[in-house]
Amino acid sequence: MEFIALTITAMVPFLFVAQGTMLSGRAGIFNVAQEGLMLLGAAVGYLVSLAVGSNTVGIVVAGLAGAVFGAVLAWATTYLRMDQFVVGLALFFLAGGTASLLYRVVIGNDEPPRIKPLPDVLLGQDLLVYLAIALSIGLWWWLYRTDAGMRLRSVGENPKAADSLGIDVVRTRMVAGTVGAALMAVGGAYLPMVFSGVYADGIVAGRGWLAIALAFFGGWRPQLILLGSAFFAAMDVLAQRAQVLGIGVPHQFVSMLPYVATLLVMVVAFRWALVPQFLGKNYDRESRIVG
């Protein structure tokens, strides 16, 4: 029982960030600023919660901060058609730098005060756990069972065809890029509220990059990302367990397990691990080259 609870808590930040990556990616925007956006979400979420005394406000403001960066990414890659990967990394630096700077300016080098953890609402889990799972199922339903979702997917698969059928490619990408980045920042804001109570520059610890890996791992499909994140989180908790219990194998090798297992699954699963056709590619409506 405790194992399941730990797995769920470990899974939540991955879910928000990987689903955000997936949502942007299905519209063709490949966001690679996760690590920075999570850091920004963590810093903003922590500082606002501290100042206002409400975690909810902290999460909302963190999401808004992420949305601003997502909008810049979407604007730069649609209106200006700048390289997605490069802009994403530049924003990663800016977001990460802003996060550290905000924290340094507000808190300085003092011992940081802890914020209240998120309260449990049901079965000993906090509200964001249920939100994250509802988000995954909701995104699946929205992408595959509604017209608007199909339109969004078509923009990521073949924007030229989508455009010719009257779908506004630029607007779709703006919305998907903005909302996706907001989700990433929310995933970051979860970290100080559940794990540490404080912000630190190393708080994200590569989770952003892992979330990109999980988006690929889940074949850019929300339902599989949910399963993939659960699998990865379970392996991670298992590795920590084995470390504590001591099973005769050096703990470093146990800690490798989640990463190696994810790679092995990808090797077996490369058939279903589809990627949106226009992932990371900009759409130029005046271009004569198709695809």
Q: Give residues in contact with other proteins (CB under 8 A).
A: 76, 80-83, 85-87, 89-94, 96-98, 100-101, 104-105, 206, 209-210, 212-213, 216-217, 250, 252-253, 255-256, 259-260, 262-263, 266-267, 270, 273, 275
Closest distance to other proteins from the beta carbon of 42 (Å): 15
Q: Which is nearer to other proteins, 4 or 260 (CB)?
A: 260
Q: Which is nearer to other proteins, 138 or 206 (CB)?
A: 206
Q: How far is the CB of 112 from other proteins (least distance, A)?
A: 15
Q: Pick the closer one to other proteins by CB: 90 or 242.
A: 90
Q: Decide whether 7 or 98 has the Cβ nearer to other proteins.
A: 98
CA atoms within a 13 Å half-sphere pointing along the CA-CB vector of 53? 0
CB of 139 to other proteins, least distance (A): 21
How many beta carbons lie within 10 A of that of residue 196, not counting itself? 16
The two counts, helices (H) then strands (E), for the chain are: 11, 2
Of 14, 52, 61, 59, the residue nearest 192 (C-alpha): 59
Measured distance CA(204)–CA(39) in Å, rounded: 6
- Shortest Å distance, C-beta 56 to other proteins: 28
Neighbouring CB atoms inside 10 A of 274's CB total: 12
Three-state SS at 35: helix
